Amino acid sequence: MHLKGNDFLKLLDYTPEQIDYLLRLAAKLKAEKKAGIPHRLCEGKNVALIFEKTSTRTRSSFEVAAHDLGMGSTYLDSTGSQIGKKESIADTARVLSGMFDGIEYRGYGQSIVEELAQYASVPVWNGLTDEFHPTQILADFLTIREHFGSLENIHLVYMGDARFNMGNSLMVGCAKMGMHFTACAPEGYFPDAQLVAECQAIAAQTGAVLDFISDPAAAMQGANVIYTDIWVSMGEPESVWAERIAALAPYQVNAALMAKADPNAIFMHCLPAYHDKKTVIGSEMCTRFGREAMEVTDDVFESAQSVVFQEAENRMHTIKAVMAATLAEIEL
């Protein structure tokens, strides 16, 4: 399949066949890495990694993947890049295109990464925006495939605030791949109606089922994958904490809720997670609101059903597949 030269901005831009190809390529590259087989498919190339929002998994994934593929990588954080401040997005894209073979962007509005791609002459990859997180979904789907053998007949329930990048991207991914997606959230916390309509149109073609309900017990019936994310997103002010936590408390993933899912269900989380008080922010939120955990309890997070660290590792393998497929000619 020919993806060389393509951007990777959102899954809406990709066909189910292309997504499947990236997952198969990621599985192949993962198996080769585990076996110690080199795959320096992009020898001599260089990539720029723009991070307006910091990350452990995304940065590590791009840097290790680039190294494994034979590439150099240059990390540009908010203090090391003039993007949108002293230099326009369009100018930044053209400057970096002259020095690098690919550009990753992790930051704020989707419009920023779209504009980068518009003006860049090299592939641009979305490492996360407020609206979409496509590389995370590839890692999630690879993990689900590894656990269940297929994405067919999988019912994925996203529990919590479904208005932002994870709720949006899981909905898009499930629609594309013909899966059953349920967003379980309070009223006012569901994805944007226009995006829902677009995904329903995709679902009509792929056979996917998309549900939007507010009853956690009902949502969990027959669920194969229970997914959640932090209740307070990166960069949001403390002023939203009280309202958000009060609204989402009934949607915490705990042992009682997991017991309502399929017995073989798995728990997933894109991380970081506030499952205990061992982080500064987690401790502060738990103390202030009288809680032991936020979106997921520690017993679920650490349980045999939890695949969060397998999922985190798969960020690197799937990001490697995206870079390799868009920078080199690779046939499976």
Active site residue 155: no
Marked catalytic residue, from 42, 59, 68, 106: 106
Active site residue 77: no
CB 143 within 8 A of CB 308: no
User: What distance in Å separates the CA atoms of residue 154 and residue 173, rounded to the nearest whole number?
Assistant: 12
DSSP string, 124-150: EEEEE-SS--HHHHHHHHHHHHHHHS-
Marked catalytic residue, from 136, 275, 286, 317: 136
Pairing status of strand 46-51 against strand 102-106: parallel
Amino acid letter, residue 160: G
Marked catalytic residue, from 145, 275, 315, 317: 315
Marked catalytic residue, from 174, 270, 275, 286: 270
| Residue 271 burial (CB count, 10 A) | 18
Burial 113-151 (b: 16+ CB within 10 A, else e): bbbbbebbebbbbbbbbbbbbbbbbbbbbbbbbebeeeb
Which residue's entry shows tokens 């689900």? 144
CB 164 within 8 A of CB 233: yes
Marked catalytic residue, from 57, 59, 133, 180: 133
Cα atoms in the Cβ-side hemisphere of radius 13 Å centred on 41? 22
Active site residue 163: no
Which residue's entry shows tokens 């009288």? 290
User: What distance in Å separates the CA atoms of residue 164 and residue 192, rounded to the nearest whole number?
Assistant: 9
Which residue's entry shows tokens 């032991």? 292
Burial 29-43 (b: 16+ CB within 10 A, else e): bbeebeeeeeeebbe
User: What distance in Å separates the CA atoms of residue 135 and residue 191, rounded to the nearest whole number?
Assistant: 19
Active site residue 200: no
Distances (CA, A) of 69 to 96, 220, 321: 20, 41, 10
Active site residue 67: no
Marked catalytic residue, from 229, 244, 269, 275: 229
User: What distance in Å separates the CA atoms of residue 12 and residue 195, rounded to the nearest whole number?
Assistant: 10
Active site residues: 106, 133, 136, 229, 270, 315
